[in-house]
Amino acid sequence: MSTVVALHAFDEAMQLEPLAQGEFRARTSPLYMNMVGPFGGVTAAQMLSAALAHEERAGTPVTATVNFLAPLQAGEFRLRVRKTRQNRSSQHWYVELLQGDDEVRSNATVMTALRRQTWQATELPVPEALRLRPARLDRLDTDMEFINRYEFSFLEGPLFPEGDPPSYESSSTVVWVRDAPSRAVDFAGILAVSDTIFPRIYLRRPDRVPIGTVSLTTYFHCDQSDLDQVGSQPMLGVARGQVFSRNFFDQSSQLWSPEGRCLATSHQIVYFKS
Amino acid sequence: MSTVVALHAFDEAMQLEPLAQGEFRARTSPLYMNMVGPFGGVTAAQMLSAALAHEERAGTPVTATVNFLAPLQAGEFRLRVRKTRQNRSSQHWYVELLQGDDEVRSNATVMTALRRQTWQATELPVPEALRLRPARLDRLDTDMEFINRYEFSFLEGPLFPEGDPPSYESSSTVVWVRDAPSRAVDFAGILAVSDTIFPRIYLRRPDRVPIGTVSLTTYFHCDQSDLDQVGSQPMLGVARGQVFSRNFFDQSSQLWSPEGRCLATSHQIVYFKS
């Protein structure tokens, strides 16, 4: 007698089939598609998952930089993980995502470490929004499938600016976010959520110019015990664009637990067509 | 008859000897040493220079992430540059720094692109300090040799906190900085300067705990014409720590031209011993 338990769509997307040491087969998830191609946050999470699945991996992620080199096609791809350095309490990883004729479509550098309790301080201002828990999170109804895998409560800087005329003065967003259905957060989940903060240029310009994230860097300020404390509660995302110039802009964001811990800080640089 | 022109110490440090396509020999500079080992900003700049020296390179850097895997010893090392992707108007690069028994001591991902004039906006607040030009920049007298290759004018958050007792409440620094002797800034120079903003933990804790940058990401918001406009003028650096937790902290900084252009934004995650 066997019991079939349905996997959460995110866990389904994170499934890796081992091919050799440090080599896995994975596939894009139809449930996490963006306008064109798969949601980069899930691609990044798959690359991080591959590094974490390496049999020699110890510790938890401290930093991950994911570069998006070329569009990923729907379907299968391979992830190749190489340990570039073994230190006493940390490891460095290089991950390549290969598709088609072994073409590198994305690459990533990841550093993992054993983390201990130390002196700590949060110098970022604690967002006002953390004083109030969200009343209700809603699924948005969009044609971006991956957006339907999350639920949100926007306090500032909504996905679709409203008003008559809409305001395009600031690119700040403050938003509660959670997987839908809810799911206990893990490192891959943190990385994916850090990319749900949509491109800031859409809050600054009414025209939806073509864009594409070039490179995403997320710093993890948490270990497993911190994630266990968050569980499946919503997290607060705070994001803002910094400089928009010569076809590229950068944006920075932070992800907070409801208890006021800054779990991750994240930065990305995004191409935009003028 | 020949004329010998002395190279600037920074340009001397950037010298690359081609060994094969995409492969160069370089060496650490005794003039840019840190407390222990070479200054990471110059190592990062050497890696960027190697990518830019690749014969197929087109365009200027948009983003560079440099990971410091293991201590670099004083002396020679090799830089191996691989083009991971050629797009229509952009290229991706992977750089490894090898020393000793071909051990990878640092690696980097770099993206270069042809940049055009587009809609632009700076959402970061323009620092107050940009209203006043610095009266005088000074060399500091420290035992960190690389610090002597720059001159500074600190408006906030000095290298060595003063007062009785010194304040360790904030890790903000606002500082004018320039090569000493002065030098027309280039992309490698921007990357090096983005790492002169010393570890924020030294503004928060009186004890000088051992630290080490793990990963540095700099986004370039400038092309060559912007750098030509800066020339050898001082630039304004603004930096702050974000989260200090479990042996690591991150810090973010911006580099401004005296005319008020944000030339680069930079982020790094740093190990600290508790």
* Chain B nearest C-alpha distance from A68 (Å): 9
Residue type, A184: A
Size of interface A-B (CB pairs under 8 A): 197
Range list of β-strands (E), chain A: 17-20, 23-27, 60-68, 76-86, 90-99, 103-113, 121-122, 150-156, 173-179, 211-220, 235-245, 248-256, 262-272
Q: What is the ipTM of this complex?
A: 0.96
Residues in chain A: 274
Decide if pLDDT at A1 tops 70.
Answer: no
- In chain B, the percentage of residues whose pLDDT exceeds 90 is 81
Confidence of residue B164 (pLDDT cuts 50, 70, 90): low
Which residue, chain included where needed, has tokens 């924020």? B200
Lowest mean pLDDT among A66-75, B155-164, B261-270: B155-164
Residue A127 CA, chain-centre distance (Å), reads 20
Do A87 and B109 count as a contact with CB atoms less than 8 A apart?
no
Task: State residue A17's pLDDT score.
Answer: 98
Do A215 and B170 count as a contact with CB atoms less than 8 A apart?
no
B 87-116: CB under 8 A from A: 87, 90, 92, 94, 104, 107, 109, 111, 113, 115-116
Do A65 and B65 count as a contact with CB atoms less than 8 A apart?
yes
Task: State residue A173's pLDDT score.
Answer: 93
* Alpha-carbon separation of residue A241 from A88, A199, A257, B183, B247 (angstroms): 37, 8, 22, 31, 28
A 222-251: CB under 8 A from B: 222-223, 240-248, 250
| A240 against A168, higher pLDDT | A240
Strands A150-156 and A173-179 turn out to be antiparallel
Confidence of residue A250 (pLDDT cuts 50, 70, 90): very high
User: What's the whole-number average pLDDT of chain B?
Assistant: 94
Decide if pLDDT at A81 tops 90.
Answer: yes
Task: State residue B51's pLDDT score.
Answer: 98
What is the average per-residue pLDDT within B47-64? 98
Decide if pLDDT at B264 tops 70.
Answer: yes
Confidence of residue B258 (pLDDT cuts 50, 70, 90): very high
User: What's the whole-number average pLDDT of chain A?
Assistant: 94
Task: State residue A132's pLDDT score.
Answer: 85
Q: Which residues of chain B lie closer than 8 angstroms to A109, CB-CB?
A: 65, 67, 107, 109, 215
Confidence of residue B1 (pLDDT cuts 50, 70, 90): low
Do A219 and B267 count as a contact with CB atoms less than 8 A apart?
yes
What is the tens place of the pLDDT at every residue in B72-120? 999 999 999 999 999 999 999 999 999 999 999 999 999 999 999 999 9
What is the average per-residue pLDDT within B9-37? 96
Spatial distance between the Cα atoms of A171 and A204, rounded to a whole number of angstroms: 6
Confidence of residue B242 (pLDDT cuts 50, 70, 90): very high
* Alpha-carbon separation of residue A68 from A47, B17, B92, B95, B251 (angstroms): 11, 31, 9, 16, 24
Residue A196 CA, chain-centre distance (Å), reads 6
What is the tens place of the pLDDT at every residue in A32-53? 999 889 999 999 999 999 999 9
Q: Which residues of chain A lie closer than 8 angstroms to B221, CB-CB?
A: 243, 245-246, 248, 250
Do B67 and A118 count as a contact with CB atoms less than 8 A apart?
no
Lowest mean pLDDT among A4-8, A55-59, B242-246: A4-8
Q: Looking at chain B, which residue has its C-alpha nearest residue A67?
A: B109
